[in-house]
Structure 1
Amino acid sequence: METYWMYRTRVGSYRNQLVVAKLVSPSTPVPGIKSPFQEELYGVDLNPVYQVNPKWRHPDNYCDSFGFNLFSRRLVDLMREFGVRHESFLADMVDKTGRRLLNLEYYVAHFLGNMFEPGPLMIDNKKYKLLMRNDMMEEILQRGISGFEFLSQVFGL
C-alpha cells in the first residue's frame, strides 16, 4: 500500500516581506494556458521572468505570484530521479531593476497526467490537493530541500 503526503509551498519572510517570486513576464493570464494545473502540456514556449529580492533566502520550492510551481534546479533533478512526469521551463530571475540574477537557477515545473481525487480528501472539488509519495518526501527532508510544508499523511492510494 502506497503512502502519500499532502503538502503545500511554505511561504517565508524577510524583514516583514513575504518571500514571493513575482511573475513579470509573460503577462497574466498567460496566453494559451488554461490553468497552471492543467493536465496536458502547456503547448507554449514559456519563457518566465520572475522578480525577487537578491537578499532573500531562496527556497527550493518558491512561492510565486501566479500559481506556477517554481522549483530550483536541485528539486527538478530530484523529480527526474523519482520519475515524476513533468515539463519544465527555465526561468530568468531578476531584481527590481531587471538585472538578471545569474546565481539563481529556477524552473517552472508543470506536472503532467491525471490528478487523482481520492474521495476522503476532497473538501472542495475545485481545489487541488497536492500529494507526494512518502519516499520522495523523505528524500526531500534528507537533502535539506526547502520550501515545503507537509500537512497530512494519506494511506492506500
Structure 2
Amino acid sequence: MILNILTVPNPILTAKAQPIQKINRTILTLVSDMIETCRAASGIGLAAPQIGKSIRLCVINLEHLGIPPFALVNPKIVKKSWKKTELEEGCLSIPGIYGIVKRAEKIKLKALSLQGQENELSADGLLARVIQHEIDHLDGILITSKIIKYTDGTETKERKTLRE
C-alpha cells in the first residue's frame, strides 16, 4: 500500500523517533509499504517519521545500483570516516528544496535485521550518504539544517531521471 509522505512543517519530522521494541507483523507490513511508497515516489530512502510513524525504521532503495531494497531497524552509526564528500541532496518531505550537503564518505553502523538479529554493516559512497540522510530523519534532523549551499536541483533530478 502506498503511504502518504509528510512534508514540512509537520512536527513529527523534527522529533526524535523511538526505538522499536519488537519486530512483529505490523512492522514487516510497514516495511513492505514503505518500500512500495519509496519506489512510487522515485525515492532512494524513506524513514518512518516521513510517513507519520515516530519509530526508528528506514528503508533504502538503490535498486538502480543493483542493491535490493532493505530496511534498517534501530540503526546507529558507530564510525564515520574523516573524509567527507559534498553532494546535492533533496528530500521527499521537503519538495522543491535542494542543496549541497557534506557527509562522511564511509560509515559503519549497527542495526537489527527484520529477523531481530543485530548486524554490523559498512557502507560508502551513495549508500553511506542515503543511510546518513535517513538516520538524520530518525533523529529529527532535516537537510535544511545541513545544506551548505542551496541549488536548483539539477543533479538530483538528473539522477532521479536515470533511475526511472
TM-score interval w.r.t. the shorter chain?
under 0.3
For the pair shown, the structure with the greater C-alpha radius of gyration is 1
Higher helix share: 2
Q: TM-score, normalised by structure 1?
A: 0.27
Q: TM-score, normalised by structure 2?
A: 0.26
Structure number with the bigger relative contact order (C-alpha 8 A, sep ≥ 6) is: 1
